[in-house]
Chains A and B, each alone.
Chain A
Amino acid sequence: DTEVTQTPKHLVMGMTNKKSLKCEQHMGHRAMYWYKQKAKKPPELMFVYSYEKLSINESVPSRFSPECPNSSLLNLHLHALQPEDSALYLCASSPLRGFGQPQHFGDGTRLSIL
């Protein structure tokens, strides 16, 4: 069992839908991350939150909107996605933001855009 919980595990949506991915951790970590992973590729960083504030946005299209309501919860709001956005979306957390911080990953949400 992972200590970072992501819901839902699978999501199928149309290009006009609005949906949200949820990530929760109760390890007291103050840095949280969203990654996108395509099949047979490494994870690519999308966003970093530190102390509930957005600290890194890797030039992600605005159809992806992150939110960090509190230190345990991270959301990714999705709107008007494209078929190429189909991927595994991984959430991770670490004790702090900074160098040398091992990251704890959830099992991801597998997203399919019709």
Chain B
Amino acid sequence: SQQGEEDPQALSIQEGENATMNCSYKTSINNLQWYRQNSGRGLVHLILIRSNEREKHSGRLRVTLDTSKKSSSLLITASRAADTASYFCATDAQGGSEKLVFGKGTKLTVNP
């Protein structure tokens, strides 16, 4: 299975701290995306990183990709209570269908 695995499964931090979530996958990919899902809501696209990129930034988000280790990390700096959500990585398989396969997700809780 191509499915990504995020770790940790759950993360609880204080407001202002940084949060780091990791994603590992099994097959070669074209792209890796990160999504956020607030409780009871749909997913929101955060950032896309292509297989030939190593790092990407968007506001307080920093994503890295290491294709040799088949892993990615999402760093949220200076976290806020509003960042409380589940975070999923999603990959598409090189040479395969372009469908996205989502990892199991990390549930982040930011305490005020």
Contact = CB atoms under 8 A, between A and B. Distances in A.
Interface of A: 2, 4, 6, 41-45, 48, 56, 58, 90, 92, 97-108
Given A2-B42, A4-B42, A90-B43, A103 B100 contact: yes
A48 B99 contact: yes
A97 B98 contact: yes
Interface stretch (B13-21, B63-71, B76-84, B101-109): B101-109
Contact of A43 (B40, B45, B50, B102): B102
Q: Is the interface of A mostly helix, strand, loop or mixed?
A: loop
A92 B41 CA distance: 13
A99 B42 contact: no
B75 interface: no
Interface of B: 3, 30-31, 33, 35, 40-45, 48, 50, 88, 92, 97-105
B88 A42 contact: yes
Contact of B31 (A6, A41, A43, A99): A99
Contacts of A56: 97, 99
A41 B105 CA distance: 8
A16 to B, nearest CB: 28
B3 to A, nearest CB: 8
B59 to A, nearest CB: 16
A43 B102 CA distance: 7
A42 to B, nearest CB: 4
A101 B97 CA distance: 13
B23 to A, nearest CB: 11
Nearest to A98: B98
Contacts of A6: 42
Contacts of A105: 35, 42-44
Given A45-B99, A100-B30, A100-B48, 17 more contacts: A6-B42, A42-B3, A42-B102, A42-B105, A44-B102, A45-B100, A58-B99, A90-B42, A102-B33, A102-B45, A103-B43, A105-B42, A105-B43, A106-B42, A107-B40, A107-B41, A108-B41
